[in-house]
Amino acid sequence: MLFEEFLVLCEEQLEDFLKNKLPPSALFNELNRLVRYIDTEEFKCFPHLKEYLLPFLRYYSVLQKLPPERQRKRVENGFKMIHKMRNVFLLTGSEEIEALKQNRINPEASVKFAKGVGENRAKLLHKFGIEKIKELLWWLPRDYEDRRKIIPLSSLRQDEKVTVMAELLNYSVKRVKDYVIITAVVSDGFGQILLKWFNQEYITRYLKKGAKYLITGVPKKNSFGPYEINTPEIEEITGEPKREILPVYSLTSGLTQRIMRRIIRKNISVVGTFREFIPQSILEKRDLLPREHAMLAVHFPKSLYEADKARERLSYEELFLFEVALLHNRAKMKKKDLGISKQIVGELSRRFIESRSFKPTADQLKVYEEIKEDLKASTPMNRMLQGDVGSGKTFVAELAIIDNFEAGYQSAMMVPTSVLAIQQYEKLHKELDHVGVKVGLLVGSMKKSEQDRVKKQLALGEIDVVIGTHALIQENVNFKDLGLVIVDEQHRFGVKQREALMTKGTMVDTLVMTATPIPRTLALTAYGDLDVSTIREMPPGRAPVRTMIITENRLSELYAFVREEVAQGHQCFFIYPLIEESEVMDLKAATEAAEF
Residue 571, C-beta contacts closer than 8 angstroms, at least 6 positions apart: 565
Phi then psi dihedrals of residue 499, to 5 deg: -65, -35
Distances (CA, A) of 155 to 42, 165, 193, 214, 538: 21, 12, 12, 16, 60
User: 161 or 518: whose pLDDT is higher?
Assistant: 161
Residue range 43-64: average pLDDT?
Answer: 92
388 φ, ψ (degrees, to nearest 5):
-65, 165
Q: Which of the listed CATH numbers 2.40.50.140, 3.30.1280.10, 3.30.2080.10, 3.50.50.60 matches domain 149-242? A: 2.40.50.140
User: With 80 as the cut, is the pLDDT of residue 122 above it?
Assistant: yes
Mean pLDDT over 355-381 rounds to: 89
* Across 122-126, 382-386, 401-405, least confident range: 382-386
Q: Quick one: average pLDDT of 320-330? A: 83
Contact 510, 485 (CB under 8 A): yes
**What is the structure's pLDDT at 90?**
95
C-beta of residue 194 within 8 angstroms of C-beta of residue 219: no
pLDDT tens for 130-152 read 999 999 999 999 999 888 888 88
pLDDT in tens, 290-302: 999 999 999 999 9
Which residues make beta-bridge pairs with 532? 384
Model confidence at 57: pLDDT above 80: yes
**Residue 189: which residues within 8 A CB-CB, separation 6 or more?**
167
**Exposed, middle or buried, 255 (CB in 10 Å: 0-12/13-18/19+)?**
middle
Distance of CA 588 to the CA centre of its chain: 28
**Distance, CA of 20 to CA of 10 (rounded, Å):** 15
Q: Show Cβ contacts of residue 136 under 8 Å, excluding neighbours closer than 6 positions.
A: 111, 114, 125, 130, 263, 264, 267, 270
Q: What is the predicted pLDDT for the residue at 76? A: 94
For the segment 357-367, the average pLDDT, to the nearest whole number, is 89
Kindly tell me the burial class for residue 134, based on how many C-beta atoms sit within 10 Å of its own C-beta (0-12, 13-18, 19 or more).
Answer: buried
Count CA atoms closer than 13 A to 297's CA, side-chain side.
Answer: 26
**Ranges of CATH 2.40.50.140 domains, the chain:** 149-242
Contact 216, 163 (CB under 8 A): yes
Q: How many Cβ atoms sit within 10 Å of the Cβ of residue 330?
A: 16
Lowest mean pLDDT among 164-173, 221-230, 364-373, 488-497: 488-497
Q: Are 156 and 219 in contact (CB under 8 A)?
A: yes
What is the enclosing helix (H) or strand (E) of 329? helix 304-336
Length of the chain equals: 596
**Residue 187 in contact with residue 211, Cβ under 8 Å?**
no
Q: How far is CA 366 from CA 452, 488, 535, 538, in A?
A: 39, 20, 9, 14
pLDDT for 347 beyond 70: yes
Pairing mode, if any, of strands 382-387 and 179-187?
unpaired
pLDDT, tens digit, for every residue of 532-561?
Answer: 888 888 877 676 677 888 888 888 888 899
Tell me what pLDDT residue 519 has.
65
Where are the CATH 3.40.50.300 domain residues in the chain?
Answer: 347-535
131 alpha-carbon distance from chain centroid: 26
CATH topology for 347-535 is Rossmann fold (3.40.50)
Is 277 a residue whose pLDDT tops 90?
yes
Percent share of the chain, pLDDT over 70: 92
The 3-class secondary structure across 173-206, one letter per residue, is: EEEECCEEEEEEEEECCCCEEEEEEECCHHHHHH
Query: What crossing angle do the helices spanning 304-336 and 291-299 adopt, rounded to 10°?
Result: 130
Could you tell me which residues come within 8 angstroms of residue 421 by beta carbon, excluding any fewer than 6 positions away?
Answer: 415, 441, 443, 467, 468, 469
Categorize the per-residue pLDDT at 4 as very low, low, confident or very high, splitting at 50, 70 and 90.
Answer: very high
Model confidence band, residue 308 (pLDDT cutoffs 50, 70, 90)? very high
pLDDT at residue 14 is higher than 90: yes
Judge contact between 505 and 482, C-beta under 8 A.
yes
d(C-alpha 319, C-alpha 369), whole Å: 32
Distance CA 136, CA 116 (A): 12
Backbone φ/ψ region at 310: left (φ over 0), alpha (ψ -120 to 50), beta: alpha
pLDDT in tens, 504-536: 777 788 898 887 666 666 665 566 567 888 888
SS3 71: helix
In this structure, are residues 219 and 246 in contact, taking their beta carbons and an 8 Å threshold? Answer: no
What DSSP state is assigned to residue 578?
Answer: B
